[in-house]
Structure 1
């Protein structure tokens, strides 16, 4: 495994499946251990966070280490200190760093000057930690995802991008239902991505259906345009009926009921959303053990 985790394809397929197995193993054990005793994790966030922040903080604590959260406003970085200087100084004092940044380039620049592992806790390009939890949730219930049909309904955003990377690594069929104007030109550079403007085509006979908000952080100025463009891409109970009878539904949260999902879909019998959210903790713990133990 590479020293940094900035994208899902920083792993090969064996490493990714081994990480999922490690997460399952850690989930099945006692919460508290001393695997990372004496280790310290720094979290530097430019964006707000619920699941990413708490899963890393609690995960480090359960593994015997400690974590400290720093917003950019708390650092000299917010007053003009360079990324290079900040990275060199902070990485000389901690054992690992989690970055949640507006631009993916910040992750690349920070990792280039860091002497410790850097983990991408979200950028405008990708969200690999979220996909670890999603894959863990699927493997935990269904086993291998190889050859399965996964349907993504909505914006081809950072989470969707990480799914596309995972599809190539783990050889599953990834269908993206998205308005043409929101489909990136490079989407078909992936081997296992199928683009369609029809949500029904994407969902039909799928093993997993997933979605995300129509207006991601940073897209607020285009909210009205996006809500209009995606209004026919809601996942509801009737649409989920078109998937396989044993299909599961995931959502990375937060969710906007009445937009990308119907009012009661999170509590539908096919939803695994709250388990998926909990699995952020177990996936993050496996990642931390792999990178900084």
Structure 2
């Protein structure tokens, strides 16, 4: 089910006699996170020792990445503007899953320092009522550009769940650059969701 309000999903799931798949809500985007994990595993071969930096205001993708990172033991830091941090509920759930390092900072340079994965998403998340102008003013210091990417590890890659807004959360130089794996990441959504459907149909029978 792909919807806005997360409560619609939980209401349906509580009454359903078959598995219900969260294809996206305003709180979480687990299908995207699974595709992201596949992309990272394909590139690095393992999650151990990989540090992911999410840059920009926390949103549904951030939430699912935090839970995914905690599940596989991958350290993650969120670099976001003040007032747009992940919820305490998500951070508490991640801590319950494992003792994996999950950090939140209010700056981009400190977040990406030594990062192996730099991840960006749109500055105006679904349903938050933020205009593009307001988002640009709030998040200008959180653009992923070549200067910011100078702080990352030598093996670092850039990820984005797409569609990207060139010149806003990421520059074209980074999006189209040699570190970018966004097209592989997008393709992996297809593979992950096929696997999910197969697993769900097996579970339903």
Count of aligned pairs between the two proteins: 195
In the alignment, structure 1 residue 219 sits paired with structure 2 residue 121: no
In the alignment, structure 1 residue 172 sits paired with structure 2 residue 71: no
Q: TM-score, normalised by structure 1?
A: 0.64
Query: Cα distance, 1:223 vs. partner?
Result: 3.5
Q: TM-score, normalised by structure 2?
A: 0.90
Q: Using the alignment, how far apart are the partners of 1:223 and 1:261 within structure 2? A: 14
Q: Using the alignment, how far apart are the partners of 1:172 and 1:289 within structure 2? A: 27
Q: Using the alignment, how far apart are the partners of 1:150 and 1:171 within structure 2? A: 11
CA offsets, 1:40-76, max 9 Å, x none?
xxxxxxxxxxxxxxxxxxxxxxxxxxxxxxxxxxxxx
Higher normalized strand content (fraction of residues): 1
Q: How does 1:261-276 map to 2 (within 5 A)?
A: 261-276=170-185
In the alignment, structure 1 residue 121 sits paired with structure 2 residue 23: yes
Q: Using the alignment, how far apart are the partners of 1:226 and 1:116 within structure 2? A: 40
In the alignment, structure 1 residue 253 sits paired with structure 2 residue 155: no
Q: Using the alignment, how far apart are the partners of 2:18 and 2:91 within structure 1? A: 34
- Asked if 1 retains the 8 angstrom alpha-carbon contact of 2:59 and 2:86, the reply is no
CA offsets, 1:118-166, max 9 Å, x none?
1111001100000111111111121111232110000110000001101
- Asked if 2 retains the 8 angstrom alpha-carbon contact of 1:111 and 1:118, the reply is yes
- List alignment gaps of at least 5 residues for structure 2: 96-100
In the alignment, structure 1 residue 137 sits paired with structure 2 residue 39: yes
SS of the aligned residue for 2:172 comes to: coil
Q: Using the alignment, how far apart are the partners of 2:48 and 2:166 within structure 1? A: 31
Query: Cα distance, 1:227 vs. partner?
Result: 1.8
Runs of 4+ displaced beyond 6 Å = none
The structure-2 alpha-carbon separation of the partners of 1:221 and 1:160, relative to structure 1 and needing over 3 Å to count, comes to closer
- Asked if 2 retains the 8 angstrom alpha-carbon contact of 1:188 and 1:194, the reply is no
Q: Using the alignment, how far apart are the partners of 2:77 and 2:105 within structure 1? A: 7
SS of the aligned residue for 1:175 comes to: strand
Structure whose CA Rg is larger: 1
Q: Using the alignment, how far apart are the partners of 1:249 and 1:141 within structure 2? A: 11
Q: Using the alignment, how far apart are the partners of 2:130 and 2:187 within structure 1? A: 31
Q: How does 1:79-158 map to 2 (within 5 A)?
A: 99-158=1-60
- Asked if 1 retains the 8 angstrom alpha-carbon contact of 2:34 and 2:68, the reply is no
Alignment RMSD (CA, Å)? 1.4
